[in-house]
Structure 1
Amino acid sequence: MDWLQVVVLAVVQGLTEFLPISSSAHLILVPVLTDWDDQGLAFDVALHLGSLSAVIVYFRHELWRMTASTLATLGGRGVNRDAALALWVVVATLPVCVVGFLLQDVVEGYMRSTLVIAAGLIVFGLALGYADLKKRGARSEYDMGLKDALVIGVAQVLALIPGTSRSGITITAALMVGMSREGASRFSFLLSIPVIILAGGLEAFKLASAQVAVDLTAMFWATLLSGVSAYLCIHYFLAVIKKLGMQPFVIYRVLFGLWLLWFFYF
């Protein structure tokens, strides 16, 4: 694997993991537009590790409070807003864990076509635009309830469809239940932590079982570059949506989806 491939894949993964534009839609173009071989399972693990590190570092203060409050709750000290938020993250993660486990072969074998990805970009992009314009409220991630967590968790299952975007569909669902742009986005990013841990852990298990040779240098730089780009992405995304909202991403998704249809089918 050459350095250009490492840099491009790491930066693309870091930027698209948390933007509501679908990382799978962008990564599918790399082997099409280049003559690069598949990067391999070890490289995928490194990319996930970078994204995970970025979101943990960015939300380190919130995660510390959530962890301390949860332990205090388990010790009988009652439930405060940080412990409640931790609970909602767990609740919203359960549906995608169950469905993803049951339908893993279906998703990997039958739903990774360009047509599905393009349709996902367009349809769920328009849904994001509608939620942002018509349903957006003012509640933060600390104003959630059980119903909100379940709605967002069920919506996250749709992210198993390539092109949907995990961050895009969870932000859409959060906006639909009346959360603010910032609150919806922050909860979506927190929700990515257990999902990335589970997905990366599964890939790491497969990697260990395969006993293949690993390029540690490429993995190190992939982790670092994807982590730095993901951290910057989270920071600037939260700043941009305060002024511009979700519509620029909606427009981008629709145009990108149409371009994919034209490129592959016309």
Structure 2
Amino acid sequence: MSIIEALIFGIVQGITEFLPISSTAHIVITQLLLGYQFPGFGFEIYLHFASILAVMIYFRKDIMVVIFGFIGYVINRSKDNRTQFLFGIYIIVATLITGVLGLVLEDFIGASMKTPPFIAIALAVTGLFLIIIERFVRYGDRTEEQMTFKDSIFVGLGQTLAVFPGISRSGATLVTALFAGLNRDTAVRYSFLLSIPVILGSSVLAIGDFTDGAMVAEVGIPALVVSFIATFIFSWLGIVWLIDFLKKSKLIYFAIYCFVAAIFVYFFLDNSMIIEL
């Protein structure tokens, strides 16, 4: 892999990982446009680690609050820690639902779902639900203090849809959290913190592709360094920008982008191509 290709993949992964526009779809599109296919899952896992590092550092205070609150409640049943204890439970519940159903559905995701036509349809579906939540559903005002197990189950089921190439994980969790009646700030925080165990878990399951040595030999150390740094930087920028954007603007702009991307993928990419995700 050339340095330019590594830089491009890092930028694409970083920008799209946490925006509701499907990073998987954009990585596939980029591979098709550059005529380069990843050597197994290893490189994709590597890029995900860079994105997760960015979100863990950015939300380090939130993570520590949840962890210490969770432990504190377990130890002394302090009323002050109950909210964070339950919030941690809700993260675990949604993660377990996504993990179990994801493993089940993975066997049913055939090659026909890894082609430009399917990805185009999935992007359009993502855009459709972003429009629905923005135009036809009244935003709730519930915070993490008012969250319930029902919310975590609902969001976990929504997050599971991201196993289909082109369905955005962040988009699915945001939409389902808002459908459930959570306010924007809580939905965004929940979505970001959910990304940590989900992406780390999926990476661990495919760690063999990362450690077999083929990825390093194929991509090359200079390209690995460049892609990691680019992914981390642009993941950080994506997090900052999305949080600021959602305070002032609407999800419908992401919906429009998804529709444009779907049209491009369907009509301008080789529909016979299959990318092994």
Change (3 A) 1:210 1:108: farther
Alignment correspondent of 2:198: 195
Contact 1:93 1:195 in 2 (8 A): yes
Alignment correspondent of 2:243: 238
Identity of aligned residues (%): 32
CA distance in 1, matches of 2:50, 2:155: 25
Report the AA paired with residue 252 of structure 1: Y
Aligned counterpart in structure 1 of residue 189 of structure 2, from 186, 189, 194: 186
The gaps in structure 1 that reach 5 residues or longer are: none
**Structure 1 range deviating more: 251-260 or 206-215:** 206-215
Equivalent residues, number: 266
1:70 is displaced (CA, Å) by 1.2
Report the AA paired with residue 121 of structure 1: L
**Structure 1 range deviating more: 201-210 or 250-259:** 201-210
Report the AA paired with residue 43 of structure 1: F
Matches within 5 A, 1:17-32: 17-32=17-32
Matches within 5 A, 1:1-266: 1-38=1-38, 40-78=40-78, 79-107=81-109, 109-133=111-135, 134-209=137-212, 213-214=216-217, 215-264=220-269
CA distance in 2, matches of 1:200, 1:44: 9
Contact 2:123 2:259 in 1 (8 A): yes
1:205 is displaced (CA, Å) by 2.7
TM-score using structure 2 length:
0.89
CA distance in 1, matches of 2:104, 2:162: 15
CA distance in 2, matches of 1:243, 1:173: 20
Report the AA paired with residue 32 of structure 1: L
TM-score using structure 1 length:
0.92
Change (3 A) 1:118 1:129: same
The gaps in structure 2 that reach 5 residues or longer are: 272-277
Contact 1:14 1:227 in 2 (8 A): yes
Contact 2:116 2:270 in 1 (8 A): no
1:39 is displaced (CA, Å) by 5.3
1:209 is displaced (CA, Å) by 4.7
| Aligned CA-pair RMSD | 2.0
Contact 1:14 1:228 in 2 (8 A): yes
1:211 is displaced (CA, Å) by 6.0
**Structure 1 range deviating more: 51-60 or 105-114:** 105-114
CA distance in 2, matches of 1:231, 1:112: 28
Contact 1:43 1:218 in 2 (8 A): no
Contact 1:46 1:220 in 2 (8 A): no
CA distance in 2, matches of 1:255, 1:59: 32
Report the AA paired with residue 237 of structure 2: L
CA distance in 2, matches of 1:110, 1:250: 24
